[in-house]
Amino acid sequence: MYYQFDTDSLAHAKAALLLYAMYRSRQPNSPLNGLETWSRFQTFVRGACLKSNTTAAFAQEFCRKAKIDSIRPRYLSTGEPVVMPDTGELISSSAVADYRLGVLEDDSLMTLYRNESLYLIMLVRERIQREKMGLVEMEGAEDDEDAD
């Protein structure tokens, strides 16, 4: 299990983490709210893949389609310490946000979004289900939404 996703593949976990963070960052007026949530989610993934060559462009296009203003860093958190780029120092503090920029820079994930999106979405849905049942601890769940 990587990043609280039920998979033995780090690449799948990275790809699912970005989808999870975007889903959790949606606003109340997002088309991802309502009865057709997961069909729309799949449609937005496919549409974003068609218009993107990089993972960063994919995230930008998906957020545009889903009316997501920004990705909240707390949903990208994996519970691992943050590595400071200047010094290589590991910081383990709730005061330091982990933006997981490496996920957005990993363009090899585009193959997974194009070819295995259904599986990735199922990983996200399964994690959300476990969170609802209280089986996954949400990092900073009590934090104010605007603090991100």
Each of the 148 residues of the chain gets a pLDDT tens digit; together they read 888 899 999 999 999 999 999 999 998 888 888 888 899 999 999 999 999 999 999 999 999 999 999 989 888 877 665 565 566 555 555 555 566 777 888 899 999 999 999 999 999 999 999 988 886 655 444 444 444 4
pLDDT of 95 reads 54
At residue 65, the pLDDT reads: 92
pLDDT, residue 136, reads 61
And the tokens for 16?
Answer: 């699912």
Q: Can you give the pLDDT at residue 148?
A: 44
For tokens 């933006």, name the residue.
Answer: 99
Q: Which residues pair with 23 in a beta bridge?
A: none
Task: Note the pLDDT of residue 62.
Answer: 94
pLDDT of residue 145: 44
> Which H or E run contains 102?
helix 101-105
Which residue matches tokens 């057709």? 36
- The predicted structure's pLDDT at residue 135: 65
Question: Which among 139, 144, 7 is positioned nearest to 80, based on CA atoms?
Answer: 139
- Burial status of residue 68 (CB atoms within 10 A of its CB: 0-12, 13-18, 19 or more): buried
The confidence score (pLDDT) of residue 98 equals: 62
Write phi, then psi, for 30 (nearest 5 degrees): -70, 145
Per-residue model confidence (pLDDT) at position 67: 92
> Strand (E) positions, 7-58?
none
